[in-house]
Amino acid sequence: MKRIVCLISGRGSNLESILRTAEAERWEAEVPARVVAVISNRGDAAGLGHAATRGVPATVIEHQRFASREAFDAGLAAAIDAHAPDVVVLAGFMRVLGASFVARYTGRLINIHPSLLPVFPGLATHRQALAAGVRVHGATVHFVSNEVDGGAIIAQAAIGVLPDDSEETLAARVLQREHMLLPRCVRWLCEGRIELVNGRVAVRNLPPDALALVG
């Protein structure tokens, strides 16, 4: 049984999409894999409610209680390791993680970012996209590296930018694609269909177009 730990900071809609998809697709029986824990760096994260609803153990490791980034990373790693995870998912986790933390989980730590990386890393991605006048925007799932939003790309989902889009409408449409993309990537990683090899993503037993969702 592959063990998944999800890290969140806020509303947890991507966490909820993973839990919902795992339930609908019967991951425990078919993959097999399951989410064994949810960890948040904020005690007021709404996403903790998704874990409670489905009976998934949840822990809060508040970053503000630690004297340094390194101390927080160490406390977070200890909480994660208590669940012996095979996969760690940053599902809306809004903290930059240090090099030693990333190295500890290399090849099993993935993130979802609301842009078509490598363009628009960091925050305010939808505002950046509108300001740049791009015609295509979307979301990316990638392995986490020491470079913020710079790890090897696993898969992407693209949408067209409409002439009357605002940050809010664009964000809402991208989020819908995130909810499709992230659970697929988590499942593929658990199934061994994707793997990080020498800094690049190796793909096994997936159709050529599986890693790109367009429309």
Provide the annotated active-site residues. Answer: 113
Residue 58 makes CB contacts below 8 A (sequence gap 6+) with 37, 38, 39, 40, 48, 51, 52
The DSSP output letter for 96 is: P
Q: Which residues contact 198 (CB under 8 A, 6 or more apart)?
A: none
8 Å CB contact between 115 and 107: no
The beta-strand segments (E) located in the chain are 2-8, 33-40, 58-60, 87-90, 109-113, 136-143, 153-160, 194-197, 200-203, 212-214
Q: How far apart are CA 215 and CA 201, in angstroms?
A: 24
Is the backbone of residue 123 left (phi > 0), alpha (psi -120 to 50) or beta? Answer: beta
d(CA 194, CA 205): 9
CA angle 17, 98, 69 (to 5 degrees): 100
